[in-house]
Amino acid sequence: MPVRVQSPAAQAKCIGADVGSKEVALAAADAFTLDTPVTIIANTQAVITRWLKTLPAGCRIGMEATGRYHERLAELAWRAGHVVFVFNPAKVAKYLAALRSRAKNDVLDARGIARYVLNESMGCHPYVPPGPFHAKMALLIQRRHQIVKQRESLRMSLADLPDCDASLKALKQAFKRLLAAIDAQIEAAYRTDAALQARRKRLCSILGFGGLVSAAVAARLSRTPYANSDAVVAAFGLDLRVRDSGQFRGQRKLSKQGNAEERRLIYIAAVSACNNPLFRALRDKLLAKGRSPTQAHCTIARKLLRIAFAVWTTNQPFNPSLVGTA
């Protein structure tokens, strides 16, 4: 009889974790039933560390990205030498909905995530915790976005209150000072690494790339060694999802994976790049083909990411004469 060779995921112990703010539900994988035992522990460093010591070496532990609640378990498990996966919650939700379950709770989610680790994790990138620089950069860029969003929300909601003009003006100045303080922290973080700062400045040579966009892209590219520009486009969630079946041709939509703020910044860079005749001509050509302005700018955003990858890997500044060439 032929010998069946098990995959690394099947050979290692696969564990699913449903992480909440207070507790973590944990279950080992069982490919055949949904009745595997579930352990619930407190989401604290001491309790998680004790639980990790009970595991055999080289386990594969998966969890959904849940804001910041999953970070403690992911980092402690990684430090303990296990292979850790932080999954896209939308993908896991579709997988869980396909299982033979008539309910949804933490116990069932932990069992389902364990089976996802067993059956689907071979094509996923293992989790690696960010270093101090990348963690700080992600926090600063994300918090900056929240400040801008709240500023615009207040501006629109208070626009019809003329008696508050003086107070609103003072509030705008306070927001401006706060944003300037965050921008100063971003610049100070990059100044601590001369080589990284030099590569970031090369990214600034790309049309549409300012200080904030270059900081976000440089942080992303310096953390993950992407194989090609397609991987970069996919990491920013700007790759197209095809929905075809037989003669049916479905609508193409962006995957929207990855960090939403980074994707927004690249889109803004594409809009800004269209102020230059080089990319304005490309946008007009796309519009003439029937593309909407949003579709045209998304196409240009993908091109900017490919250019950024080329600038990053070659250590050469942006050369506009190469746009449109093979």
Q: What is the pLDDT of residues 160-209, one digit of tens each?
A: 887 878 888 888 899 999 999 999 999 999 999 999 999 999 999 999 99
Q: Are 304 and 262 in contact (CB under 8 A)?
A: no
Q: What's the pLDDT score for residue 2?
A: 44
Q: Which CATH architecture has domain 8-123?
A: 2-Layer Sandwich (3.30)
Position 5 scores a pLDDT of: 44
What residues contact 155, with CB distance under 8 A and at least 6 apart?
168, 172
Whole-angstrom distance, CA of residue 210 vs CA of residue 202: 11
Read off the pLDDT band of 10 (50, 70, 90): low
Nearest alpha-carbon partner for 308 in 227, 224, 205, 237: 205
For the cut 70, the answer to whether the pLDDT of residue 3 exceeds it is: no
Q: What percent of the chain has pLDDT over 90?
A: 66
DSSP string, 63-90: EE--TTTTHHHHHHHHHTT-EEEEE-HH
Mean pLDDT (whole number) for 133-142:
93
Residue 326 has pLDDT above 80, yes or no: no
User: 3-state class of 16 per DSSP?
Assistant: strand
- Give the CA count within 13 Å in the CB-facing half-sphere of 104: 9
Alpha helices in the chain (DSSP H): 8-11, 45-52, 71-79, 89-97, 106-120, 132-157, 165-191, 194-203, 211-223, 229-235, 260-273, 277-288, 293-314
In this prediction, residue 162 carries a pLDDT of 78
Q: Rounded CA gap, 282 and 293, in Å?
A: 12
What are the DSSP calls for 191-257, one per residue? Answer: HT-HHHHHHHHHHTTSTT--HHHHHHHHHHHHHS--SSHHHHHHHTT-SEEP-EETTEEPPPEE---
Whose CA is closest to 312, among 200, 177, 149, 164?
200
Mutual angle of helices 293-314 and 260-273, in 10-degree steps? 100
pLDDT band, very low/low/confident/very high, at 253 (cuts 50, 70, 90): confident
pLDDT at residue 220 in the model: 94
Domain residues of the chain, as ranges?
A: 8-123, 131-192, 194-326
Which of 202, 297, 285 minimizes the C-alpha distance to 254?
Answer: 297
Mean pLDDT of the chain: 90
Contact 238, 312 (CB under 8 A): no
pLDDT tier at 1, thresholds 50, 70, 90: very low
Answering whether pTM is above 0.85, one says no
Given a contact cutoff of 8 angstroms between Cβ atoms, the answer to whether 320 and 229 are in contact is no
Written as six digits, the tokens of 120 are 């689907």
Q: Are 28 and 117 in contact (CB under 8 A)?
A: no
- Looking at per-residue pLDDT, the higher value among 166 and 229 belongs to 229
